[in-house]
Amino acid sequence: MAGMHPTNLPVDRRALQRRVVRVLALGQVLGGLGVGASLALGALLVTEVSGSSAWSGMAATMNTLGAALLAVPLARLAQARGRRISLSTGAFTAMTGAAITVCAAVLASFPVLLVGLGLLGAGSALNLQSRFAATDLAADDSRARDLSLVVWSTTIGAVLGPNLFEPGEVVGRALGLPPLTGGFVIALVAQAVGALVYLTALRPDPLLLAVADGQAAGAAPPSRSGGLAVLRSSSLARRAVLTVALSHGVMVALMSMTPVHLTQHGASLSIVGLTISLHVAGMYALAPVFGWLADRIGRRPVVLLGQGLLVTALVLSWLGSGSHAFVTVSLVLLGLGWSASTVAGSTLVAESVPPAEAPRLQGVSDLFMNLAGATGGALAGPVLAFAGFEGLSAALMVLVVVVVLVHTTRPVAAAPAATPDG
């Protein structure tokens, strides 16, 4: 593999892993600013530039499509050059997207704006890849915890990003830019800083070092097959990827329709905002707890715990769709179920194949995760219109049943001794 050279100096693996997790967490915070800005301000900017609110959903759509399309190329770059180059390239791509978005607003060009928002999806793609980077050098008994800490750090950027409107407007006016663009300038700077952090602080590269360790221990050299071939070769990898993708699809489908449902039933915007905020808190705030549990009791039990939380959320939203309180509790449980399933499922993805093969599989997993989210969000609207919130909740239970069945009807390959898979 190009660039895969072991270091000539002794390296304290545990000390390096602690530093890697800190660097990745900082990068997640910076990258989250761009993701939050594109989702919160992007819809407003699309409406302004296009002249119609009917196009407002394209901000989230282009971000998701960009993340999906860039997931595999960034994973291939990690395979060839390591995490440092891959993550910094993702940050520079997102920075370029922010710059194009600002230029599109200046030119009042809707097609250029869509390109910029799509490239901003690189921020989402690298944030997803960062959680896998946390597992490259992780010990068996702390792999899920390290991954979950990087997931948890997303909370900061996710909370700060949507609140860039006021400071962004100050920056935009100072630079003589159109309204709604200042937040993207802040996101551009944050991504540039993130790229520099990755380039300078991820030395030695954790993935290159992990692959070198494996080769020194006699592991087979990496094959030239693609991520789909790696997926076909491992039943555990298929279950893990399916878990992450379907859990994400369930979460996006119900979450995206909740504001519509609540407003249709007389909820104020403050109630809608509180519900979504509590949902986001459920997604990220307890991620380290689920990581700790996955290390202590195994990955599969935590996946099943996550599915239990998801089905409880769906039952509440089905039976209590007319109650704002029930829907709010449902959204919190939905976030918690997503968190448990994603942390444990992503850990299974990371350890289901050797380090030399892992990036390709991780890229395919992120691709399917984004496609499942995009599909879930796209289909949720028609289902809501046809069957209501109750029908949507009932339909999504099918996806939960699929995940439960693949983890219970056939034995899952055993995890390392320190982390039994249940």
Q: Are residues 155 and 295 in the same domain?
A: no
The answer to whether residue 333 scores a pLDDT higher than 70 is: yes
Let me know whether 294 and 152 are in one domain. no
**Residue 249 near residue 400 (C-beta atoms within 8 A):** no
Amino acid (1-letter code) at residue 380: A
On whether both 282 and 317 belong to a single domain, the answer is yes
Q: What local confidence, expressed as pLDDT, does residue 171 receive?
A: 87
Q: What is the mean pLDDT of residues 227-254?
A: 89
Return d(Cα 94, Cα 121) in angstroms, integer.
7
pLDDT at 161: 64
Assigned domain for 416 exists: no
Q: How many residues make up the chain in this entry?
A: 422
Q: Residue 348's closest CA among 248, 249, 416, 246?
A: 416
Residue type, 221: P
Same-domain status, 242 and 197: no
Q: How many CA atoms lie within 13 A of 203 on its CB side?
A: 6
The CA–CA distances, whole Å, from 71 to 28, 124, 130, 197, 371 equal 16, 9, 12, 20, 11
Residue 420 lies in a domain: no
Per-residue model confidence (pLDDT) at position 1: 42
What are the phi and psi torsion angles at 204 (to 5°)?
-70, 155
C-alpha dihedral, 304 to 307 to 311 to 313, nearest 10°: 120
Q: Is 222 part of any domain?
A: no
Per-residue pLDDT at 403 exceeds 90: yes
Identify the band that residue 217 occupies on the pLDDT scale cut at 50, 70 and 90. Answer: low
Q: Specify the 3-state DSSP secondary structure of 417.
A: coil
Give Cα 131 distance to the centre of its chain.
8
pLDDT band at 124 (very low <50, low <70, confident <90, very high): confident
Dump the DSSP string for 165-203.
Answer: HHHHHHHHHHHTPPTT-HHHHHHHHHHHHHHHHHHHHS-
Query: Which residues does 243 contact at the CB level (< 8 Å), separation at least 6?
Result: 303, 341, 344, 345, 348, 403, 406, 407
Average pLDDT value for residue range 295-311: 96
Type of residue at 20: V
Total structural domains within the chain: 2
Of 101, 85, 94, whose CA–CA distance to 199 is shortest?
A: 85
What local confidence, expressed as pLDDT, does residue 223 receive? Answer: 59
Which of the two residues, 82 and 5, has the higher pLDDT score?
A: 82
284: nearest Cα among 157, 380, 175, 386? 157
| Residues contacting residue 324 through CB under 8 Å, at least 6 positions apart | 262, 265, 267, 271, 275
Reply yes or no on whether the pLDDT at 158 is more than 80. no
Q: Which of 166, 196, 216 is the last residue of a domain?
A: 216
Q: Is the pLDDT of residue 204 over 80?
A: yes
Average pLDDT for 356-374: 89
My answer on whether 42 and 168 are in the same domain is yes
Range of the domain at 66: 13-216
Residue 278 confidence (pLDDT): 86
Q: Are residues 236 and 210 in the same domain?
A: no
Instruction: Kindly give, in sequence order, each residue whose CB lies less than 8 Å from that of residue 25, ignoring residues fewer than 6 positions away.
Output: 149, 150, 153
Q: Are residues 189 and 251 in the same domain?
A: no
Residue 306: what residue type?
G
Quote the pTM value: 0.83
**Phi, psi angles (nearest 5°) of residue 322:** -85, -5
State how far the Cα of 259 lies from the Cα of 269, in Å rounded to an integer: 9
Per-residue pLDDT for 240 more than 60? yes
Q: Fill in the amino acid letter for 231.
A: L
Please provide the average confidence, as pLDDT, over all residues in the chain: 85
pLDDT tens per residue, range 23-46? 999 998 887 776 666 666 777 788
Decide: 341 and 306 in contact? Cβ < 8 Å.
yes
CATH of the domain at 79: 1.20.1250.20
Domain check: are 240 and 363 in the same one?
yes
Q: Say yes or no: 237 and 201 in one domain.
A: no
Kindly tell me if the per-residue pLDDT of 420 is higher than 50: no
Has residue 343 got a pLDDT over 60?
A: yes
Same domain? 19 vs 167: yes
Longest dimension (CA), the chain: 66
Give dist(CA 212, CA 34) in Å, integer.
34
Q: Among 108-117, 146-155, 257-266, 362-371, where is mean pLDDT lowest? A: 257-266
pLDDT at res. 413: 46
Lowest mean pLDDT among 201-210, 217-226, 270-279: 217-226
Identity of the residue numbered 162? P
- Is residue 54 pLDDT above 80, yes or no? no
Last residue within a domain, chosen from 157, 184, 216: 216
Q: pLDDT category, 225, cuts 50, 70, 90?
A: low
Give Cα separations from 321 to 16, 124, 253, 265, 325 (angstroms). 49, 31, 15, 9, 9
Q: Residue 3 falls within a domain, yes or no?
A: no
Question: Do residues 332 and 282 lie in contact, with contact meaning Cβ atoms separated by under 8 Å?
Answer: yes
**Nearest residue to 172 (alpha-carbon basis) of 104, 95, 102, 99:** 102
d(CA 360, CA 149): 23
Cβ 256 vs Cβ 272: under 8 Å: no
pLDDT band at 312 (very low <50, low <70, confident <90, very high): very high
Does residue 191 sit in the same domain as residue 232? Answer: no
Residues 299, 212 share a domain: no
